[in-house]
């Protein structure tokens, strides 16, 4: 009787073990490849990791100081002659303000100089805050705007531009063919044409240089792998995509996935051959949602 009871108990335990649900396999987070310039990559990688994703910096654009600092110094000396300064990117802001002279009391609430600061998106807006610009002197698209580009900025500032209104457009050198703050296409040249059409005046200033990064031997293997292993490429510039294609022309992108922060960038990614391309605003919550929605 005891042996029968023990056998029955052992069988019961065996059945219980068989019926216990197995733990689901651990799902690794999606790896996101952040392609912004090195100066900007770190904060985006950190933000994406904190949001639960795996992120890796792989800058596709190198940014450096301007070739002619005297031109920037001259612009600062004449800053009062401009009604507004349009910065095409956060890099434009940081490099322009890096050469700000001590006597330039501008972009402040109590400043005698009334020059305004125009930017196209939240990244450049954050750079203005970091540079000490008073919010009262900033103009930018609303944070809830559908897109952040020159067209959205013009909708905000068009009423200010009257005949004789002078705008200084601060940009980088080396990106003339990618003539937009976020996506190639109409961008800053379009903005300048709108100012001119309204009777205003435009002057361009190069405050930094853009070029291809100095590639390493290991980068080729990394790119080939990331083009086929399910990684998500995060693009905020058409120029970055062009640099990627020029540096690695033998890579096939027919299995690659990408998230682009503007319609024109998404178009460039599709033209490069990316199989899956999703468009997203350059805001963390939107980017995370877009990345996680990719097939």
What is the C-alpha separation between 239 and 60, in angstroms, rounded? 8
Task: Please name the residues in contact with 142: beta carbons below 8 A apart, sequence gap of 6 or more.
Answer: 156
Name the nearest CA neighbour of 106 among 168, 171, 156, 39.
168
Please tell me the predicted confidence (pLDDT) of residue 185: 37
Please tell me the predicted confidence (pLDDT) of residue 5: 45
What is the C-alpha separation between 84 and 156, in angstroms, rounded? 13
User: Number of C-alpha atoms within 13 angstroms, CB side, residue 163?
Assistant: 0
Topology classification of domain 31-61+214-293: Rossmann fold (3.40.50)
Please tell me the predicted confidence (pLDDT) of residue 11: 52
Name the nearest CA neighbour of 48 among 290, 293, 288.
288
Please tell me the predicted confidence (pLDDT) of residue 246: 96
The pair of three-digit structure tokens given for residue 40, joined into one six-digit string: 């900007």
Please tell me the predicted confidence (pLDDT) of residue 188: 76
What is the C-alpha separation between 253 and 226, in angstroms, rounded? 10
> Domain extents for the chain?
31-61+214-293, 63-211
User: Number of C-alpha atoms within 13 angstroms, CB side, residue 81?
Assistant: 9
CA angle, residues 24, 28, 30, in degrees to nearest 5: 135
The tens-digit pLDDT sequence of the chain (295 residues) is 445 444 544 554 444 444 545 555 555 678 999 999 998 899 999 999 999 999 999 999 999 999 889 999 999 999 999 999 999 999 999 999 999 998 777 887 777 778 999 999 888 999 999 999 999 999 999 877 777 788 999 999 999 999 999 999 999 987 544 443 433 335 678 999 999 999 999 999 999 999 999 999 999 999 999 999 999 999 999 999 999 999 999 999 999 999 999 999 999 999 999 999 999 998 899 999 999 999 8
Please tell me the predicted confidence (pLDDT) of residue 220: 95
Pairing label, strands 201-211, 62-64: antiparallel
What is the C-alpha separation between 202 and 266, in angstroms, rounded? 30
Element (H, E) at 46: helix 38-50
Quote the radius of gyration of the chain (alpha carbons, Å): 25
Domain 63-211 annotated CATH 3.40.50.10090: yes
31-61+214-293 shares its CATH topology with 63-211: yes
Strand, helix or coil for residue 123? helix
């Amino acid at each position: 009787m005891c042996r029968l009871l023990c056998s029955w108990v052992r069988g019961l335990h065996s059945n219980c073990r068989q019926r216990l649900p197995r733990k689901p396999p651990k799902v690794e987070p999606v790896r996101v490849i952040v392609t912004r310039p090195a100066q900007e990559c770190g904060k985006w990688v950190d933000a994406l990791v904190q949001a639960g994703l795996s992120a890796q910096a792989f800058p596709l654009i190198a940014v450096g100081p301007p070739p002619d600092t005297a031109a920037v110094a001259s612009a600062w000396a004449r800053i009062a002659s401009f009604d507004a300064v349009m910065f095409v990117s956060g890099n434009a802001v940081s490099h322009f303000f890096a050469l700000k002279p001590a006597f330039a009391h501008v972009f402040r609430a109590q400043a005698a100089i009334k020059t305004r600061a125009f930017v196209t998106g939240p990244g450049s807006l954050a750079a203005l805050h970091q540079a000490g610009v008073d919010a009262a002197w900033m103009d930018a698209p609303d944070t809830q705007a559908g897109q952040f580009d020159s067209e959205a900025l013009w909708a905000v500032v068009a009423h200010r531009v009257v005949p004789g209104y002078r705008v200084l457009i601060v940009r980088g050198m080396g990106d003339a063919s990618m003539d937009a703050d976020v996506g190639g296409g109409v961008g800053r040249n379009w903005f300048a044409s709108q100012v001119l059409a309204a009777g205003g005046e435009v002057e361009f200033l190069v405050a930094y240089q853009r070029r291809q990064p100095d590639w390493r031997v290991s980068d080729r293997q990394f790119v080939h792998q990331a083009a086929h292993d399910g990684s998500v490429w995060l693009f905020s510039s058409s120029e970055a995509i062009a640099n990627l294609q020029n540096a690695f022309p033998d890579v096939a992108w027919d299995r690659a996935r990408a998230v682009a922060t503007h319609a024109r960038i998404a178009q460039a990614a599709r033209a490069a051959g990316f199989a899956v391309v999703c468009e997203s605003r350059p805001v963390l919550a939107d980017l995370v949602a877009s990345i996680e929605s990719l097939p």
